[in-house]
Every structure is written in structure tokens, then in C-alpha cells.
Structure 1
């Protein structure tokens, strides 16, 4: 079970229509797909969520060739500093990059043993993983006209119920005039009936603006509000006035427990240092009375890892986020995962239970080379080739 070779390939996953959120808009997502090959000929898959990390994966791989797949702890110590900060390096980046490789280590180990990943994580407490249906204003795409008005968004949500039996909805606010968003949310509520409705402002508002916005939006029966403001302290201040639950992507568990707000932390595997780190973090959330869910935006590789962790961890309750319905491509065989009736079943094949489609991987990589990465501001370096690889010589 020793590591022989590691390959990393940056890819762009296109969306059917660019969606708007408080940071602007995006029509694609850049990720790095990791392929880890063992000396026994088994391949495990992983993913770095934060853009093109191929060169970083190749550098880190130099330290990991020859490691046993089961030595996750020693491998982490070889790649990630033990402190949370150093002025000479980027600990956060190392943690995220190692997490993509570590995901592939777990996948390869489970494939070697011929079992689904959730078996290595303690077994499944659930087989169907609840997910939200996302909505937002979306700009016109090549194959999708998007939504440009409150009525358009409400009709989209109604169509998701009719076509896919969607059960819970989460939508972006903080993107246009507040009065228009209040109309949008009210029309969505009318379209979805008593189904769960959650909102996400991505920290767009100041505390006074958030208080005003929430006062106008809460009559639509909002169950969860994600990041109406950016800080924990601001959300705790809002808690005094509003009964809904709050969530955030910012990871600070001790502060959440101390302030009693937010109610849940919503993040990904990379941010927590890998699958082992996620197991430990979710256990700490359970002990400290803070909820946990996954957010979306990864390829089918990391999405499958989310499903296995959600299956194995009882504390991951409620619907995690997903943008899967908006994907126009993916790197896995069968294309993007398709939720139905508000859930996805955890894959039951060996490892993550998904398989790379070589043609799709190349297509998504070539799209990255042509378009550059998201967020914009950098593109592939001159001479960039398909996949960065490091192997035992």
C-alpha cells in the first residue's frame, strides 16, 4: 500500500449559467484533481478545492513517495507545519494541498481493501444524504437563459420541485437592491410552499444593514441565514433580534461555542486538513454543541468524499449545500451527480465509488488552460502540460 506516483491536474468546471453572489458572478469553478498511484497498481482520487494547486501538489509529493497509505498522521507531519502560523511559509495553503492528497490516500486504501470509504470511517449511519437546491440571479449562459427577476427565480424553484422533487432551498442575497430581493424571497416562498428556505449573503452587509435586511426578509419564514455579516460577533448581535439559525464558512469552533453563534459551521474537507481532520473537527463540533455541514463547489471527486463523510458522521445533520444542478460538465464517469427528492445516495463502490473519465478530465483541463482560473487574476503558466506528476524514480 505504498505511494508510487502522484499526479495533479487543474480543471475548470463550467456552470450552465453564471450565478451572482455578493463577490460578483462566476461561470466556472477551478479545482485540482489528484491521482495517487500505489506500488500495487491501485489509483486513488483526491481534490484541492481552492484553484490550481498542481505545482504545490508536485512539490509536496516529493516528501510522500514511499509512504504507506495508512500512515496519514506521519504523512501530515511531513507536509504541514505543526503551528497555525509562521512568517516564513503559508500553513493554510499546505493544509489545503495536503488534504487533497490525503483524500486520495483514503480512496486508494479503501479501493485496496475493496470497501466503500465510509466503511473505513466507522460505517454508515445513513445512506441518503440531504442536500439543498440552490437559487440565485443567474446571467444568461450558453444553454441556460438564467434568471433576471424575482418571478424568474420563483419559477425556477417551482420547476426544481416539479422536475426533481426538491425538498429544501438555499439562495443568494446581498446581490441587488434589497427591496427587489425581498420580493424575490417572498415569491420563492410562495412557489415552494412549506419547504425549508435558507438564505446566504456571503458576509455582504454591515450590522445595521443586516438588521434592516433580516427584518424585511424574515416574514418569508427563513430557517437558516448564512453570513448576513462577516464576523461571529455581528451574527451574535443579530441573534438578539431574530429567531432563525445562523451559519458561516469561517472556521473558529472555540469562538462559536463561546458566543453561542453561529449555530453551524459550513466548510469543506480541504479547509480542515483532510478526511482525518474532518473526522476530528466534526467530533469536536458535536462535543461543543455546534452544527456542521458541507458546502458545495467541488467536482464529483470531492463531492463523493462529502457523501461518505456525511454517511459516516451522525452529527452532519440537515441539508448540506450543493451547486451540482448547475454543473455543465464534470471529471467523473456519468457526468455531474444528480440529486433527486432532496438527496444523493452515498456511492457503494470501492473507495469513493466514483471513476475519472479520462476524456472529461482532459476536456476540463483544456478549458482551464484556455480560460484561466477562477477567481480571475492568474492563468496557466507558459508550457503548462496536462497534469503535473511526481513519481518514484
Structure 2
């Protein structure tokens, strides 16, 4: 059925508190909710959520791409529109592409009566994915937040570090590690805070502690520097926003052991699956994380995590950071996120953001 409607509505979602990292602070999330409808009344949703700090295009470029695709895709078959998104130029605006691809895949999956992840994999996928707690930045309330997360059943607890000098932060992280029960780990994210010397000091200080992984340790990453640090660490160093800064070969020659997948940066579900499969074939593992998107974007990321399988904890327990949302986010309990039953993405917007 041809597409008869292509709409995109801007949104602004404030946070309950500022999201702080070594890369800066965020007080709200902005983007566009895409809705496509075919001539039979079938529909699909996607979240266009640009954030240049994670490697997407600027919002103005997102808006321009949406206008272009709105004009181009109206009247086209959904499958043909999806094929057209493989044009290399579409990856110049990956956040826009991710949102439009999500809406097309949602529409097609609903039409076929299958969940989004099952329609991509061609088989039934798990409906629950393991997730880490998102504690925010290291600070005076971190111990209380950690206790609450443990009480809620999380076993992997993510913490932003690199906002203060190492001599201030290292003892705090070491104390938190001593507080963890057996089987629980910290996942640390430095957001490119350090020079190589500081990164080495941190790795030495973390030796022997229950660390799941350390994301983005280097301010100016290179393949040799990354490899040297990884040799020093017993846990994976994870590549996230520096993806474009390392040569492609570093992803597939063992230099990088863990890769963080964010849909707005990678251009959507299908490119992310292709990259994850190639990275896994080279011996690496992937973690899917949100970039604090709306419930629509969070659901897309959760379907990606379900499609990839495995038992790593994904960074998807972020809905509580939003004071308002576009729809109901997937529920999280005892360290697991449960995907909605039924076909497609499983997203339904509220009449007004709530």
C-alpha cells in the first residue's frame, strides 16, 4: 500500500534533573516524532533525536532531511521507501534516517503481524532484555542511588566519571566497588575525559575491582593508544562516541573489544544490526544504549537489543530521567526491560506528552 501521510512533529522533553557527563550537561531532549500512514490506515512511528555530541548531524540538518523525505516518500510503497534509504547520502543525516527507518519498519511489521525484532531476524526473539541501572554522574548521592538500584534488582550499574580530577574520583569509585555484593559490577563511562596518562592511572586503580567495562577513556583516541590501554585492563574498553575517530580496521582486528550501539548515530536499526553482526564475527560484543530519547526511540533501541541476543546488560533503563514523555516507555523490573506484546514497535503516543 502506498504511503498517504508523512508527518513529523517537534517535541521537547525536560529531564527530572540535569544529565551530567565529562562531555557537558543536558537539561532536555529535543527531536521529532515521525508518523507514516498508508492508504489502508496502517501506520508506524519513529523518533528523530539528533544529538551532535554523540556523532549525529545538527538538528537543522535533521529537519531539512525530514522535509526532503516527506516530499519524496509520499505516495511510495513503504518497502520502496525503505530501499531508498540505502542511498549513501541518507547516512549524512543518521538521526533523521533512524527515525524514518523506524517508522517504515514499524508500519511493515504491524502489517505482517510480527514484532519489529522478529520481523528483522525472521524468527521469534526474546521479549526481555537485561539492562543496567543509569546512576548518572559520580557525586554525593551516588551511594544512595547505587543502593536503590541494587534493591531494585539491577546487577550492572553505570556511572559517569571524569568530571573531577582522578585523585578525587578514584577513592569514591573504589569505595563503591567495596560496597557491591557478589555478582554486581560497575560500568564506567569517562566520555573522553582523559589523556593517556590519566587513563593509565585509572586502569591501575581499578585493577582487581568488579568493573564490567570502561567506556570512552581517551580524549584523543588512536588505535595504538586504545590497544595499549586495553592490554592494561582485564575488562573491556568500550567504544562509543569515538567510533568515527578510529580506523575501521580497529573494529575488526581485536583492538576494540566492546562497541556501543546508538541508533541515531548509526542511522537506524538495519545498519546497526549489520555492524553488530560483523563486529561479533570478529570476536567483539555489543551493548545497545539509548541517548535519552523518547519512549518511541527507547523502544526501537530495545528491539535492537532483543534482536542481537546475548546476556549483556544494555543501557536502556533511562526513561525515568525524563519528566515527560511521548508515550509509555517499556517497563523495567529486576534489571530487565520487557518489550510490549503485539506487532511492530509497540509504541502508542499519548494525546499530549505526560
TM-score when normalising by structure 2: 0.87
Matching residue within 251, 254, 257 for 1:256: 251
Moved more, 96-105 or 67-76: 67-76
Q: CA deviation at 1:169?
A: 0.6
The alignment status of 1:65 with 2:74, answered yes or no, reads yes
Residues 300 and 330, structure 1, Cα contact 8 Å, conserved in 2: yes
Aligned residue for 2:278, secondary structure, equals: helix
> Within 2, Cα distance between the matches of 1:241 and 1:24?
28
Q: 1:289 to 1:253 in 2, by over 3 A?
A: farther
Pairwise mapping of residues 210-221 of structure 1 onto structure 2 (< 5 A)? 210-221=199-210
> Within 2, Cα distance between the matches of 1:256 and 1:54?
31
Matching residue within 182, 192, 197 for 1:208: 197
Matching residue within 232, 237, 240 for 2:228: 237
Moved more, 207-216 or 118-127: 118-127
2:262 match: 268
> Within 2, Cα distance between the matches of 1:62 and 1:80?
19
2:102 match: 103
1:199 match: 188
Q: 1:338 to 1:186 in 2, by over 3 A?
A: farther
> Within 2, Cα distance between the matches of 1:18 and 1:192?
26
Q: 1:357 to 1:73 in 2, by over 3 A?
A: closer
Q: CA deviation at 1:92?
A: 4.3
> Within 2, Cα distance between the matches of 1:45 and 1:209?
44
Q: CA deviation at 1:71?
A: 2.7
Q: CA deviation at 1:254?
A: 2.9
The C-alpha deviation readout for 1:337-374, integer Å capped at 9, x for no partner, is: 442111111222221112011211xx7xxxxxxxxxxx
2:341 match: 348
> Within 1, Cα distance between the matches of 2:107 and 2:131?
26
* Richer in strand (by share): 2
The C-alpha deviation readout for 1:115-167, integer Å capped at 9, x for no partner, is: 22122122234221011111233xxxxxxxxx742xx20111101222x2122
2:56 match: none
Q: 1:29 to 1:187 in 2, by over 3 A?
A: farther
Structure 1: state its 5+ residue gaps: 82-90, 138-146, 364-393
The alignment status of 1:112 with 2:83, answered yes or no, reads no
> Within 1, Cα distance between the matches of 2:251 and 2:271?
18
Residues 73 and 81, structure 2, Cα contact 8 Å, conserved in 1: no
TM-score when normalising by structure 1: 0.79
Aligned residue for 1:321, secondary structure, equals: strand
Superposed CA RMSD in Å reads 2.1
Pairwise mapping of residues 89-100 of structure 1 onto structure 2 (< 5 A)? 92-100=91-99
Pairwise mapping of residues 1-393 of structure 1 onto structure 2 (< 5 A)? 1-51=1-51, 52=59, 53-71=62-80, 74-77=83-86, 80-81=88-89, 92-121=91-120, 122-137=122-137, 148-149=139-140, 152-162=141-151, 164-194=152-182, 195-230=184-219, 231-233=221-223, 234-249=225-240, 250-251=242-243, 253-258=248-253, 260-296=254-290, 297-314=292-309, 317-322=311-316, 323-332=318-327, 334=328, 336-360=329-353
Q: 1:25 to 1:215 in 2, by over 3 A?
A: same
Residues 15 and 28, structure 2, Cα contact 8 Å, conserved in 1: yes
Moved more, 30-39 or 268-277: 268-277
How many aligned positions are there? 335
Residues 23 and 192, structure 2, Cα contact 8 Å, conserved in 1: no
> Within 1, Cα distance between the matches of 2:210 and 2:192?
20
Aligned residue for 2:85, secondary structure, equals: helix
Q: CA deviation at 1:232?
A: 4.6
Q: 1:46 to 1:154 in 2, by over 3 A?
A: same
> Within 1, Cα distance between the matches of 2:231 and 2:294?
38
